[in-house]
Chain A
């Protein structure tokens, strides 16, 4: 029927390139957020003991992490919205390749975000040293603990990818059900809280703690990969029912 049979990898790579270009502005937004976090990381001095005239300044890279997590979450939502959905009709493609290319885009974007977030730490430390004098406590440097640096990077990447996929699934759900999707979503979350209240089963907190309290990187990676696989399958299953382009 066709002169050339397109390979899956070619279609996906073409779509990933397209998605990267189409969402290029989001990387500038990420830089903007990281710079905003950098500015917010230097709070004004807080006087904590007037009698002794002692001031304490707490500099932390936490705001970088929060902004990165928010960026990935909303980028996931943005990636699955109506406009992006309609863009797929530009290509001769299947639903599967569409989701696969979205996933690879999320991997690349999460990688870039995690590089920025992890490298923000030594940058902030350098600026802290330049600005303040008395710093009796400081975390280990990369030279002191190089493995810790790579572990931080892997952890950041996995967390950011997970938030990306969560945003993507939520928007897919809303996409499938229209306005009612939001209502369903709120109802599901609300019912989880009700289950917690009536039966005393803290599902949400248990789920969150399963990731936060994990002490083995290997098991944590398996949990994140498993969660991503489940969420992504859910997203594919939900959006497979959407066959037509929305106007």
Chain B
């Protein structure tokens, strides 16, 4: 497509040269532009536009057939509910059985766990640390992905989650959410849509809005494990229970 985008520019240069230097070339006998040429240019352009219009109608899906992510009207209540339920379940002590669960893993640990983070501050996940008497030298790790709404569409399924990297007594988190979206919005000229059904009842919005949450990591660690974390975003479930 890169080369295709250059076509208008090339045609502009050609026509510009013809318009600007046409008379000079004509005088020098290089070539001559008669009036017929201008009509040929105009009607050839209309012909090309007709062909492009037919191709656009035949080759590409109608506005109803375009593959779209689910609309937030349909998914947002369940997404919000699922996300809030994770926190409630963790505090309540029950294992969150969520559609947002990405991974559940078990790791060996000695006497301490150091959580390190490299990345942007806004990418830092919510980490819940729950101490358990049942866990002996093992850590249970549950990773939940966030939701992602962009312009009324639910892109949660397109989120790519990078799980934390575990070493000896260390958990390293680095840019957990990988989300790259190149969104395109196409619109007709509103001036000419003044009397069309779409123009009068337009649902098209060129504004931008997004809503997202951070990933959640739930760690069930041995009762006496020392947890070293660089941020205050690590929450201890027992403290949360006491606050409630």
* Interface residues of A, Cβ cutoff 8 Å to B: 21, 24-32, 34-36, 38-39, 42, 45, 48-49, 51-62, 64-65, 112, 115-145, 147-148, 151-152, 155-156, 159, 212, 214-217, 220
Q: Is the Cβ of B38 less than 8 Å from the Cβ of A24?
A: yes
Q: Is the Cβ of B52 less than 8 Å from the Cβ of A122?
A: yes
Question: Which of B42, B204, B212 has a CB less than 8 Å from the CB of A31?
Answer: B42
In the complex, chain A residues whose CB is within 8 Å of the CB of B126: none
**A45 to B: closest C-beta gap in Å:** 6
- Report 9 cross-chain contacts, Cβ distance below 8 Å, ordered by A residue: A52-B210, A54-B179, A56-B185, A122-B52, A124-B186, A127-B5, A137-B151, A137-B204, A137-B205
Q: Mostly helix, strand, loop or mixed at chain A's interface?
A: helix
Interface residues of B in 165-193 (CB under 8 A from A): 179-193
Query: When chains A and B are docked, how far (Å) is the Cα of A167 from the Cα of B68?
Result: 45
**B23 to A: closest C-beta gap in Å:** 10
**B33 to A: closest C-beta gap in Å:** 8
Q: Is B200 an interface residue (CB 8 A)?
A: yes
Query: When chains A and B are docked, how far (Å) is the Cα of A52 from the Cα of B9?
Result: 33
In the complex, chain B residues whose CB is within 8 Å of the CB of A148: 193, 196-198
Q: Which residue of A lies closest to B63 (CB)?
A: A138
* Interface residues of B, Cβ cutoff 8 Å to A: 1, 4-5, 8-9, 11-12, 15-16, 18-19, 35-39, 41-42, 45-46, 49-50, 52-53, 55-57, 59-60, 62-64, 66, 68-69, 120, 122-123, 148, 150-151, 153, 179-198, 200, 204-206, 208, 210, 212
- Once A134-B181, A136-B66 are accepted as A-B contacts, the answer to whether A156 and B60 lie under 8 Å apart by CB is no
In the complex, chain B residues whose CB is within 8 Å of the CB of A216: 195
Q: Is the Cβ of A131 less than 8 Å from the Cβ of B181?
A: no
**B49 to A: closest C-beta gap in Å:** 4
Query: When chains A and B are docked, how far (Å) is the Cα of A31 from the Cα of B68?
Result: 35
Q: Is the Cβ of B195 less than 8 Å from the Cβ of A54?
A: no
Q: Is the Cβ of A141 less than 8 Å from the Cβ of B63?
A: yes
- Once A122-B52, A128-B186 are accepted as A-B contacts, the answer to whether A152 and B192 lie under 8 Å apart by CB is yes
- Once A134-B184, A214-B194 are accepted as A-B contacts, the answer to whether A28 and B56 lie under 8 Å apart by CB is no
Which of A29, A62, A124, A136 has the largest number of chain B CB atoms within 10 A? Answer: A136
Q: Is the Cβ of A136 less than 8 Å from the Cβ of B194?
A: no
